[in-house]
Amino acid sequence: MKNLDLISQPYIKAEMPELSPGFSVKVHQRIKEGEKERVQIFEGLIIAVKHGRGITGTITVRKIAEGVGVERIFPIHAPTIVKIEVIRKAKVRRAKLYFLRGLSSKKTKAKTKELVTSIKVAESPKN
C-alpha cells in the first residue's frame, strides 16, 4: 500500500451507494452554528462525479431554488456528510451534465430517462 492509502483508509466510508450523473439525491450535511448542531438536507440532481470513489471523490449537485439554479460540491467522504440518499435513478448519455445549466427544469426532465425508483442510504459512523 502507498503512504497516502494508509493515511486515508480510516476516513473512507464503507457504506456508500452507487452515485452517477443523472441520479437525484438528498445529501444530509451536519452544520455547526456556534454551540448548536443541525442537519441540513440538500436535494438535487448529480451533474458531475469527480475523482471516483477515493478519498478525494466529489459530487456536484444542482437544484433550482426559487427560480435560481444552485450548485454545491460535496466531498463524498467528508465527516460532515451524515448520509447520501438516492431518490431516483435516471439514465443519461453524458458523464458531465453541465449543459443542464442552460436549460429550463422542464427540458431537464426530458433529457434524463428514469430507470427505477429506489432508495439507498449511506450513513457515516457517529463520532
pLDDT tens for residues 18-27? 899 999 999 9
pLDDT > 70 fraction of the chain, expressed in percent and rounded:
80
What pLDDT shows up at residue 86?
A: 92
Residue ranges with strand state E in the chain = 24-33, 36-50, 58-65, 68-75, 81-88, 90-91, 113-114, 121-123
Question: Rounded to an integer, what distance in angstroms lies between the CA atom of residue 102 and that of residue 6?
Answer: 42
Specify the CATH number for 3-123; select among 2.40.160.20, 3.40.50.2300, 3.40.640.10, 2.30.30.790: 2.30.30.790
pLDDT > 90: what percent of the chain?
44
pLDDT for 59 beyond 60:
yes
pLDDT of 73 higher than 90: yes
**Closest to 40 in 3D by CA, of 52, 30, 50:** 30
**Amino acid 118: pLDDT:** 46
